[in-house]
């Protein structure tokens, strides 16, 4: 849990910094409603926002070789709590456990950080659908609150991100090999 939490906080905080900072380290490439870039700390990511200001992000950690789906939302949660979220898109519905990694405050708002437990399953939903993807969060009141995100450009953005992550991994391995010599 601590590894997931540290990965999540590191990736999300630097991704948010990159998304909202005018001095992002790398050039941003846009695909429809999605953008791909590299955060100042070196995490490549693909991200989109919705009209409520929520973020949906796929980010990769080049050092560990892992990628994660993250959601930053105004839907409050308690750090460490888990909940099953209903994911819906034109290609069908699925459930995915989400882990709350606490809150992240920007100058504009407080966002609560969620990590999807099955990122590969969510990849399939995002890259094979068009239109919107909805993530329904259960609330303590017994109701649900839904965050919806555009999938316009998502498939291309995720493909570009994965190719970028592979290239960055190759460069990192090459750099590490030279350092050992």
Q: What is the pLDDT along the chain (181 residues), one digit of tens a residue?
A: 445 445 444 545 544 554 544 334 468 999 999 999 998 888 899 999 999 999 999 999 988 889 999 999 998 888 999 999 999 999 989 999 999 988 888 788 899 999 999 998 999 999 998 999 999 998 888 999 999 999 999 999 999 999 999 998 887 766 555 555 4
pTM greater than 0.85? no
List the CATH number of the domain containing 32: 2.60.40.1880
Does residue 175 fall inside a structural domain?
Answer: no
Q: Average per-residue pLDDT in the chain?
A: 84
Number of domains in the chain: 1
Does residue 27 fall inside a structural domain?
Answer: yes
Closest CA to 69 of 111, 8, 159: 8
Q: How many CB atoms lie within 10 A of CB 114?
A: 30
Range of the domain at 127: 2-166
CB contact set of 98 (below 8 Å; sequence gap of 6+): 71, 82, 83, 84, 85, 114, 115, 116, 117, 137
Does residue 172 fall inside a structural domain?
Answer: no
Does residue 178 fall inside a structural domain?
Answer: no
Closest CA to 79 of 113, 116, 117: 113
H or E, element range at 67:
strand 66-73
Does residue 176 fall inside a structural domain?
Answer: no
Q: What is the pLDDT of residues 78-105, one digit of tens each?
A: 899 999 999 999 998 999 999 998 888 8
Does residue 6 fall inside a structural domain?
Answer: yes
Q: Tokens 């750099």 map to which residue?
A: 175
Closest CA to 117 of 93, 98, 136: 98
Does residue 171 fall inside a structural domain?
Answer: no
pLDDT above 70 covers a percentage of the chain that reads: 80
pLDDT above 90 covers a percentage of the chain that reads: 54
Does residue 179 fall inside a structural domain?
Answer: no
């Amino acid at each position: 849990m601590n590894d997931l939490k540290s990965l999540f906080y590191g990736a999300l905080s630097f991704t948010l910094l990159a998304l909202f900072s005018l001095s992002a380290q790398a050039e941003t490439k846009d695909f429809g409603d999605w953008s791909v870039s590299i955060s100042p700390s070196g995490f490549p990511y693909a991200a989109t926002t919705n009209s409520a200001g929520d973020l949906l992000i796929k980010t990769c950690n080049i050092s560990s070789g892992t990628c994660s789906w993250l959601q930053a939302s105004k839907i409050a949660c308690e750090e460490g709590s888990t909940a099953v979220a209903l994911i819906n898109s034109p290609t069908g519905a699925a459930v995915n456990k989400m882990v709350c990694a606490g809150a992240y405050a920007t100058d504009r708002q407080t966002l609560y950080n969620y990590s999807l437990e099955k990122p590969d399953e969510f990849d399939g939903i995002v890259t094979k659908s068009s239109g919107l993807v909805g993530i329904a969060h259960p609330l303590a009141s017994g109701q649900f609150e839904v965050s919806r995100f555009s999938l316009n450009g998502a498939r291309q953005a995720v493909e570009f991100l994965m190719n970028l992550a592979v290239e960055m991994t190759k460069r990192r391995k090459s750099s590490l090999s030279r350092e050992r010599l």
